[in-house]
Copies of this chain bind each other. A is one copy, B any other.
Amino acid sequence: MSKRVAVLTSGGDAPGMNACIRAIVIACQKSGYEPIGYLHGYNGLLNQEFVSLSLDSTHNLIQQGGTILHSARCKEFTEEAGVKKAAANLVEAGIDALLVIGGDGSFKGATYLSDYFHGQIIGIPGTIDNDIAGTDATIGYYTAIDTAMSSIDKVRDTADAFERIFLVEVMGRHAGFLALNAALSSAADYVILPEHFESTDAELKNIITQIHAQRRLKGSVSFIVVVAENVWPKGLPALTEALNEAGITDVRPLTLGHVQRGGAPVSSDRLLATTLGEFAVSLVGTSSNNVMVGEVNSHPVTVPLDKTSDSKPLNSAQVALMKTIMNERYDC
């Protein structure tokens, strides 16, 4: 039986969202479903603003960053009146299933919506932060690691030339996934993570010890500290000043910022996005509802939407690796 399947992208955009939209459209076409795209996140639901999606719209979409459906914050959607209106609009538009590509906040919205909308709701994890429980990775995460890593590779060139200390702030909201992986893969010398942050004093002491040990061992060389955003009180300027006060000068702060959200997705994100998009459509018409699709150990899984905000630990082997391979290597 034919169905109308709606998709929207919400929250911070992430590379691979378009690849996921493409997979959804193709999978719908295969199943005889009619794919609809709501624009500007949940705002589109409130304003009944949607477009028809066809195979034509998917050509050369897999490699594009951003999202052709646009994204936006939506205050109105946090209130009951807004959510009721969205549910009514979905019914009016004859939508059987709504696919929401987004992160934590987007899934909270989806859960809220499910109180009033009785069609299917399926979440698809799309965020560079990887802070969604129930899936090994989120769409956009892999590309953001590579973008941050490549930027730090470039910073290393100039840090080496001047034997300088660089502080590089990496995104991740309140999670350290991106910072940890960017640090490991760029051979950074130190990383500050929300999950392992003790105190500014303890971290400062560690950094300074490492720098001194490294200089004793190798002479003056570059030293790169990756700092997850939202961890250090008052951010990089405060950390720079604290290091200066401790006699460590020639420190340069750099916030990578929004470049981490853009760009053509790397293959891992394209593959994840394609897998999850197709899997989400395969659930349309089944009893799966109010779930997020994810991938665990290379297999597609479903998780209740209200479990997706559970705490998600860093890979402990990676944390240990960081300690072994990197920042404590001079501690003998």
- Chain A residues proximal to chain B, CB less than 8 Å: 9, 12-13, 15, 22-23, 26-27, 29-30, 55-56, 59-60, 62-67, 70-72, 136, 142, 145-147, 149, 151, 153-163, 166, 181-182, 184-187, 217-218, 221, 252, 254-259, 261-264, 266-268, 270-271, 274-275, 278, 297-300, 315, 317-318, 321, 324-326, 329, 332
User: Is the beta-carbon distance between B157 and A66 smaller than 8 angstroms?
Assistant: yes
- 29 A–B contacts from the bound complex (CB under 8 Å): A13-B157, A26-B324, A30-B329, A55-B218, A56-B218, A62-B185, A63-B186, A63-B187, A64-B157, A65-B154, A65-B157, A66-B158, A72-B162, A72-B163, A145-B267, A147-B154, A151-B259, A154-B259, A157-B262, A158-B261, A158-B262, A184-B270, A185-B271, A185-B274, A268-B268, A274-B325, A278-B324, A278-B325, A298-B315
User: Is the beta-carbon distance between B325 and A156 smaller than 8 angstroms?
Assistant: no
Q: How far is the CB of A133 from chain B (nearest CB, A)?
A: 15
| Most B C-beta atoms less than 10 A away, residue of A159, A187, A217 | A187
User: Is the beta-carbon distance between B298 and A71 smaller than 8 angstroms?
Assistant: no
Q: Of B185, B254, B315, which one neighbours A258 at CB under 8 angstroms?
A: B254
- Take A13-B158, A142-B268, A187-B62 as given contacts and tell me if A254 and B259 are in contact as well, using a CB distance cutoff of 8 Å: yes
- Alpha-carbon distance A262/B166, docked complex (angstroms): 13
User: Is the beta-carbon distance between B266 and A266 smaller than 8 angstroms?
Assistant: yes
User: Is the beta-carbon distance between A263 and B145 smaller than 8 angstroms?
Assistant: no
Q: How far is the CB of A218 from chain B (nearest CB, A)?
A: 7
Q: How far is the CB of A287 from chain B (nearest CB, A)?
A: 21
- Take A72-B162, A317-B275 as given contacts and tell me if A15 and B157 are in contact as well, using a CB distance cutoff of 8 Å: yes
User: Is the beta-carbon distance between B300 and A297 smaller than 8 angstroms?
Assistant: no
Q: Which residues of chain B are within 8 angstroms of A9 by Cβ–Cβ distance?
A: 161
For the complex formed by this chain, how many copies does it contain in all?
4
User: Is the beta-carbon distance between A153 and B321 smaller than 8 angstroms?
Assistant: no
Nearest B-chain residue to A332, judged by Cβ? B30
Nearest B-chain residue to A273, judged by Cβ? B185
Q: Which residues of chain B are within 8 angstroms of A145 by Cβ–Cβ distance?
A: 267
Q: Of B217, B297, B325, which one neighbours A23 at CB under 8 angstroms?
A: B325
What 14 new A-B contacts, CB under 8 Å, besides A275-B317, A298-B317?
Answer: A9-B161, A13-B162, A26-B329, A66-B160, A70-B162, A136-B298, A142-B268, A146-B267, A149-B267, A158-B258, A184-B270, A185-B274, A268-B268, A278-B325
User: Is the beta-carbon distance between A153 and B325 smaller than 8 angstroms?
Assistant: no
Q: Which residues of chain B are within 8 angstroms of A326 by Cβ–Cβ distance?
A: 26
Nearest B-chain residue to A153, judged by Cβ? B63
- Alpha-carbon distance A256/B260, docked complex (angstroms): 12
- Alpha-carbon distance A145/B272, docked complex (angstroms): 14
Nearest B-chain residue to A214, judged by Cβ? B55
Q: Which residues of chain B are within 8 angstroms of A187 by Cβ–Cβ distance?
A: 22, 60, 62-63
Q: Which residues of chain B are within 8 angstroms of A157 by Cβ–Cβ distance?
A: 13, 15, 64-66, 261-263
| Most B C-beta atoms less than 10 A away, residue of A157, A166, A259, A275 | A157
User: Is the beta-carbon distance between A30 and B266 smaller than 8 angstroms?
Assistant: no
Q: Which residues of chain B are within 8 angstroms of A254 by Cβ–Cβ distance?
A: 257-259
